[in-house]
Amino acid sequence: MTEDATTPIIPTALLEALCFDANGLVPAIAQQHDTGEVLMMAWMNREALAETLATGRVCYWSRSRNRLWRKGETSHQVQYLKELRIDCDGDTILLLVDQDGVACHTGRRACFYRAARDGALVEIAAPLIDPEKLYG
Amino acid sequence: MTEDATTPIIPTALLEALCFDANGLVPAIAQQHDTGEVLMMAWMNREALAETLATGRVCYWSRSRNRLWRKGETSHQVQYLKELRIDCDGDTILLLVDQDGVACHTGRRACFYRAARDGALVEIAAPLIDPEKLYG
């Protein structure tokens, strides 16, 4: 791959430590930096990672749309990167972020709003914003 | 699939909401229930999930060893399940756990001990236990 002067780059130490899967992707967990809440999990390719580091705004790779997904590009619920960490095997990224508004497309703060309790799935968080207002 | 009386089962509501990938796996994030620390990310298949729910001890599917991986089976660093949550798309699990000792095979509390800072990878946590003592 050639890089021109305007292409964001990934620091060599990080790139060498990361293991992208057969599709060129690595899972990225987004955690609110101050409260510790796990907001969501999505995927990054090299381009999404490079852009995230260059801009400080989190960019994922959308597997369903097969293109870069700048978090908040439609909903305006942006994630600002505070710190990027990787795990011992280099096959998972942890993003410490500052989440504007809500992370979930359902209008909830976090995507993990269903808990398995007593054989049922229980909703443990309500939407804070009407999804119609985010995407309508 | 037939189940005999001793086979752990997954509640129907949970099974119907979960989306396993083409390999029959779903990523599972382990978070310490009280501190909020993200400890690790690994994978579960239906069997690992069923066993985890049945026993209350977290069991993953090891992709490298191609078998069930009862967390702590060798190291004795067991994860006890406090609550299991799933995300909006049903393609990621969040495990709230109580981690005995350390989660990482390097002897660190959590696997995410390397941070990308100023173009370098910085170790932000030291081992608490010698890995030799865990796996010696």
Q: In whole angstroms, what is the distance from residue A87 CA to residue A18 CA?
A: 9
Contact A116 B31 (CB under 8 A): no
Residues of A in contact with B88 (CB under 8 A): 104-106, 108, 111, 113
Q: How many residues does chain B have?
A: 136
Q: Could you tell me which residues are beta bridge partners of residue A70?
A: A59
Contact B88 A94 (CB under 8 A): no
Q: In whole angstroms, what is the distance from residue B5 CA to residue A69 CA?
A: 46
Residue B99 and residue B29 in contact, taking contact as beta carbons nearer than 8 Å: no
Contact B85 A27 (CB under 8 A): no
Contact B114 A83 (CB under 8 A): no
- Could you say which residues of chain A have pLDDT below 70? 1-7
- Whether residue B6 is predicted with pLDDT greater than 70 in this model: the reply is no
Q: In whole angstroms, what is the distance from residue B70 CA to residue A22 CA?
A: 26
B111 → closest Cβ in A37, A87, A106 = A87
Continuous H helices in chain A: 12-17, 46-55, 131-135
Q: Could you tell me which residues are beta bridge partners of residue B28?
A: B42, B93
Tell which B residues from 40 to 69 touch A, by Cβ distance under 8 Å: 40-41, 53
Pairing mode, strands B93-99 and B26-32: parallel
Helix (H, G, I), strand (E, B) or coil at B44: strand
Confidence of residue B39 (pLDDT cuts 50, 70, 90): very high
Q: In whole angstroms, what is the distance from residue A105 CA to residue A133 CA?
A: 11
Mean pLDDT of B44-73: 97
Q: In whole angstroms, what is the distance from residue B56 CA to residue B78 CA?
A: 10
Helix (H, G, I), strand (E, B) or coil at B89: coil
Distance between A68 CA and the closest CA of chain B, angstroms: 19
H or E segment and range at residue B56: none
Q: How many residues does chain A have?
A: 136
Strand order in B38-44's β-sheet? A120-123, A114-117, B79-86, B93-99, B26-32, B38-44
Q: What is the pTM of this model?
A: 0.95
Tokens linked to A5: 């002067």
Contact A121 B83 (CB under 8 A): no
Contact B92 A111 (CB under 8 A): yes
Residue B41 and residue B30 in contact, taking contact as beta carbons nearer than 8 Å: yes
Q: Is the ipTM of this complex over 0.90?
A: yes
Question: Residues with Cβ < 8 Å from A27, sequence gap 6 or more?
Answer: A41, A42, A43, A91, A92, A93, B27, B41
DSSP B30-41: EEETTT--EEEE
Tokens linked to B19: 């989306």
Confidence at residue B136, expressed as pLDDT on a 0 to 100 scale: 83
**A115-133 pLDDT, tens per residue?**
999 999 999 999 999 999 9
- Chain B, nearest residue to A115 by Cα: B85
**B76-129 pLDDT, tens per residue?**
999 999 999 999 999 999 999 999 999 999 999 999 999 999 999 999 999 999
- Whether residue B8 is predicted with pLDDT greater than 90 in this model: the reply is no
Contact A17 B119 (CB under 8 A): no
B88 → closest Cβ in A35, A38, A106 = A106
- CA-wise closest residue to B31 among A10, A51, A94: A94
Q: In whole angstroms, what is the distance from residue A88 CA to residue B111 CA?
A: 5
Q: CB of A101 within 8 Å of any CB in chain B?
A: no
